[in-house]
Structure 1
């Protein structure tokens, strides 16, 4: 399972009508009171009250593991990019040579040629498998790993560029733990509740044996090798950090000189590795030293045959989505059906669009924006950002628990926030990527190397602050502490999050809460460790940090107490950053909503559909988080997702706000009214 390097702190994870198969998916515009379950009390189960009827009426489609507001918007984005790709493929003959339209059209056309993929079988990876068969020594294994990374096909660990945590103006390289096919280390080292992890391990071994067979290994040998793959990954897991540990910036950054890295991992050979990536640098972040020490030891004491089994299985698994139907189906059966509960594979066109997005996402975004994002949407969103910024400043200034010195630094950070809305000001150049209308896997491989080389070329140079970490067609938003920026792609600036024609209550309860959420990531348990310039630096007094951690501990306890499924609780420490951002973001957005009402002389008692403005504000917030989960997917997310399940995000922040209790006439003792030492107020 490939793990990204440093992850921007994102909102989630998903056009009034979106195409879905042969049907149409209607997105919520405004508030539909028919979706309320009025048998429930909003002060007891606010999520159920707002979304109960919708949840019961909207089964998860067969090719999804979740279904809700994000997924509906994702289908809209998918339909829009599908139209672009189809048109580009149809117009290939007349397209300007070398244009992004011609590349996207050719890529999509190659992916849709199912017959060619079936005819080729495993031929596209035959040379790689043959090389693996010949690996005998630690030096040969290390060289293979070096070359795999140089081709953009990372094996065993992840390596890429990001801003230096201690000097955010410069791009450096990061080596990051990886190499595990299962979601995280616990799946290898524990049996899990009711033996669930053990069942998944057994299914994984069966899966590995099957893909090895499909690639030509005889059945007995495949079964034996599959057991070796699990043992190999178990050892990697023992040396890996858990997801909650990886949330700490200190566990993401460990700068060493190249000479120091070479001494720590002499068998792997960082000198040769860096040369293979065309890098001439003095140092980099060896982010999890324990993991890389284990890899170096394994080069010495793990038999070459076991390394071959591991590399063989991962090469086939990595290529399977782009090869024959048999391999595609086996890949789906384990990674989507077993791990996530998805009932059927997505139609080929959706899978191909996903691959084009992964390979040329910003090129697709350039075409998407031209057709799907009107300038007035960006203008209105900018107004909301400005209002949220003002409300955030005022809220920080009025904090009673924070001392003057820390508060000044917090305001310095506020002043340097950079918002990005819709799409980049400058588009990436794709002129060096050659794509052909035939040879799907060859195109995937070419794009992987092109993107890797592009990433490597930035290392050792100043950070490009104009660059985006998400494409415009992505239904999400993020905060990047290394740039101190908040980013809102075009695709999320639609109902139910944002509607230029809607009343303020809806927009502030929707996109306003999103904007506030991303701003408050700058002050969560991770983001608060980075200063106004984006450097990992302690700008807090010891006393204020202690007060902050006392408050966040209450939020950890609040979410620890939520039971998601089958007695499994939400992990409050894993989800802490997102929960801080939700609570602070909703509070800030409410303040901005009130400021907007006062500025525009709006009647705070005016009703729409029988609902007061404050009620509509909180209802749209809960409506945004409506979502159904398949049990397998929900259990997986509890282990690896830093976001709490949607139903708890809908109630977690409002239950700590007296404005919610007042809006719905809730009383002390109601589930949605937290008080005493259970009440959480941070920002």
Structure 2
């Protein structure tokens, strides 16, 4: 997850990232309503055994251009755009005048961003008090209070803070400290010899100089050199993204009284005291060496260099909400240079993003009321029931898992919680002040309000009803501490979920997503948590070794995918998501079989189903028939392939390969199906086809795959 103080304090989730498959025609155009297959996107000239992804999406890929304001474009993007249009209509329909109600605050926040004249007139004046305070730091003992104040407005220095369940004691909240302080996306951008990263370093230095100069900071060139030097030293101590995935290695509890001994050079007690509210008795340090290096830098580096480093990160965090020169420079580097985006999003989209960041559930409440039928919840819950039963059957029959580990796995599965669509209790924004004529002030107030909300959880009971995504988010997630799977309303629409289509397509699409999220509970990191959300080793040593043999083979498969010269998928970094995809789709296929069997028991091959597994009827067909020329097995796999249509700009693809936990979408389709025996039969895949894997090379974890 990326910034805004709200998100800084959100947990690190094992999420399925979805990017909309955007057709060149209106959503669903060309779709055969009875099958859910989007024929207009398919390229029948491609052999599915050579490139299943292009077979399903080839004509869409050929006719689609990435919009100028995007770094990538696909299925997720299309749904995101559709949802944003709906949200815009809701916000702009709110009257301009009104009492201090939640609706009035939504409208005022949106309008404050759209009031470009007032923003330009103020220039950098709103930022000046902060810059003056930074420039006035003349002693190290002033740093803790300054950095605490900046932390509350989204400047993640000296560390990133997040409040989440304690991994060893999930009945209470804990404060996690993470490495921070780099302006480039990852340590590799400072240290790697790859040509792309070598090109970016001088571009970053030039950007820092320009942004500081635009903000009126003196000696911007010299300060930019200092920022680069300090961050290069920090990058040396930062953990890699693969190392930072390890839930055991990143669990390092430290009493607050001892943090100064573990990470000397910075007054941690003063920093946490200045944060206000509840001072934690202990913190959990995720990357101890990196945090220690940051503290050492704060204690030893020249104060003038530190002032420049702090000033840059402060300006960068707030530049998008200031006058055009700062906005444009921030975009020019962080979007254009890093990701290849050609132009900024329309101002209304950026305004809406701010509303979502600051008052996401207030907006979500209105989105659900207007666009999410209540019946969708029950329908998706029934699919979850089938998926859960499929996992139960497969885990119960696993030949490689011993009885002791199996009993623990089944207990964990039985304790899963499902959240669908939207929260039952909505956030209260009553204490938030919003002014229609003060964008910069609104941003500071929003971030402080969100920080207080999250930081204030310390010492209080766990909020079991809390959501970490809004209903209008096109995504889904699994939370290990809560042992819960969550599916926001916005993802429950075509092509992920077709309310009126045959369910083969739905089980391949949203069923694969549901299976993916359940699978995160049993991936290489989620499997370290038990059914109560507690991190403990419930596997026998032999079972863990057998599991890692299988996942190690998956790492090797994905390491071999190289979409660009010198840039390949990192199979270890993407392992959790690849396990989720493989297990999720395989188990979704088993679940679809259970639904078909239930329909057959009722004596109607095209029966409608609902209710508990094995009973009742509802909207949506479960059919064994060939529809629109495709068998149920074929429709199932096509459903999976359709949701991954996406195109990337080259620089963005490099960013994702190096920084993201997900494989590029082409491999999320092709890399999974080639491991599933049923796919070979469904599309008559032969040994001379490019995607063919010999049976003994196919990775199988839960027997559904």
What's the TM-score, normalizing by structure 2?
A: 0.93
Q: Distance in 2 between matches of 1:28 and 1:222?
A: 55
In the alignment, what sits opposite 1:148? 150
Structure 1: gaps spanning 5 or more residues: none
* Structure 1: distance between partners of 2:435 and 2:333: 31
Q: Which residue of 1 aligns with 2:253?
A: 255
Q: Distance in 1 between matches of 2:334 and 2:481?
A: 32
- CA deviations 1:459-495 (Å, max 9, x no partner) are 1222111100100000000000000000000000000
Contact 1:16/1:26 (<8 A) preserved: no
| Alignment-derived partner of residue 691 in structure 2 | 672
Asked whether the 8 Å contact 1:171–1:459 carries over to 2, the reply is yes
Match of 1:241 in 2: 239
Partner of 1:208: 208
| Aligned residues of 1:509 and 1:619 also touching (Cα < 8 A) | yes
Q: Which residue of 1 aligns with 2:503?
A: 504
CA deviations on 1:562-600 (whole Å, 9 max, x unpaired) are 111234211100000000010100011000111111111
Number of residue pairs the alignment of both structures matches:
672
**Aligned-pair RMSD on alpha carbons?**
1.9
1:534-562 Cα shifts (integer Å, max 9, x gaps): 01100000000000000000000010011
Equivalences for 1:274-293 in 2 at 5 Å? 274-277=272-275, 278-293=277-292
SS in structure 2 of the partner of residue 210 of structure 1: helix
- Between the aligned partners of 2:529 and 2:586, the Cα distance in structure 1 is 22
Seen in structure 2, the aligned counterparts of structure 1 residues 332 and 113 have a Cα distance that, compared at 3 Å, is same
Q: For 1:147, what is the secondary structure of its paired residue?
A: helix
1:268 maps to 266
Deviation, 1:136, is 1.9
Distance 2:26 2:444 in 1: 35
Out of 97, 112, 115, the residue aligned to residue 114 of structure 2 is: 112
User: How far has the Cα of 1:27 moved from its partner?
Assistant: 6.5
1:307-326 → structure 2 map (5 Å cutoff) = 307-326=306-325
Deviation digits for residues 388-432 of structure 1 (CA, Å, limit 9, x no counterpart): 111111111111111110000000000000000000010111111
Match for 1:614 among 633, 643, 657? Answer: 633
Corresponding position of 1:37: 43
Task: Kindly provide the CA deviation profile for residues 8-49 of structure 1, in whole angstroms up to 9, marking residues without a partner as x.
Answer: 11111549999x9xx966667521223222221101111111
Please report how far the alpha carbon of residue 676 of structure 1 lies from its aligned counterpart in structure 2 after TM superposition.
4.6
> What is aligned with 1:10?
15
Structure 1 equivalent of residue 654 of structure 2: 635
Q: Distance in 1 between matches of 2:582 and 2:472?
A: 27
Give 3-state SS (helix, strand or coil) of 2:49's partner.
Answer: coil
Q: Which residue of 2 aligns with 1:66?
A: 72
Structure 2 counterparts to residues 358-507 of structure 1, below 5 A: 358-507=357-506
Tell me, which stretches of 5 or more residues in structure 2 are unaligned?
A: 607-622
Q: Which residue of 1 aligns with 2:141?
A: 139
Q: In terms of mean alpha carbon deviation, does 280-289 or 405-414 score higher?
A: 280-289
Deviation of 1:645 after TM superposition, in Å, equals 0.2
Cα contact 1:138–1:267 (8 A) shared by 2: no
Cα distance in 1 for residues equivalent to 2:420 and 2:641 = 24
Equivalent pair of 1:162/1:174 in contact (CA under 8 Å)? yes
Q: Deviations over 1:218-242 (max 9, x none)?
A: 5xx2112111111111111111111
Equivalents in 2 of 1:46, 1:137: separation in Å?
62
| TM-score calculated relative to the size of structure 1 | 0.95
In structure 2, relative to structure 1, the CA distance for the partners of 1:155 and 1:16 (3 Å cut) is closer
Residue pair 2:596, 2:624 contacting (<8 A) in 1 also: no
2:105 counterpart of 1:100 = no
Q: Any runs of at least 4 consecutive aligned residues in structure 1 with deviations exceeding 6 A, and if so which?
A: 15-18
Q: Which residue of 1 aligns with 2:620?
A: none
- CA distance in 2 between counterparts of 1:42 and 1:527 reads 33
Separation in structure 2 between the aligned mates of residue 659 and residue 676 of structure 1, nearest angstrom: 11
Gap change, CA 1:618 and 1:16, over 3 Å in 2 = closer
Higher deviation after alignment, 349-358 or 152-161: 152-161
Q: Distance in 1 between matches of 2:263 and 2:641?
A: 50
* Contact persistence 1:153–1:448 (CA under 8 A): no
3-state SS of paired residue (2:519): helix
Q: Is 116-125 or 487-496 further displaced after alignment?
A: 116-125
Q: 1:231 aligned to 2:235?
A: no
CA distances 1:293-351 after superposition (whole Å, capped 9, x unpaired): 11221122210111011111111111110001111111111011111111111011101
Within 2, Cα distance between the matches of 1:343 and 1:443? 28
Describe the shift of the 1:671–1:419 C-alpha distance in structure 2 as closer, same or farther (beyond 3 A).
same
**Corresponding residue SS for 2:580:** helix
Q: Does the 8 A contact of 1:262 with 1:270 survive in 2? A: yes
User: 1:187·1:201 contact (CA, 8 Å) conserved in 2?
Assistant: yes
CA contact (8 A) 2:109 2:355 kept: yes
Structure 2 SS opposite 1:581: helix
Contact kept in structure 2, 1:17 and 1:27, CA below 8 Å = no
Residues 242-290 of structure 1: per-residue CA shift (max 9 Å, x gap): 1111111124321111111132234322222222222233212122211
Change in 2 beyond 3 A, CA 1:502/1:403: same
- Change in Cα spacing, 1:505 to 1:436, as seen in structure 2 (3 Å) is same
CA distance in 2, matches of 1:135, 1:72: 47
- Provide Cα deviations, 1:602-633, integer angstroms capped at 9, x if missing partner: 37752211111110110110011010111010
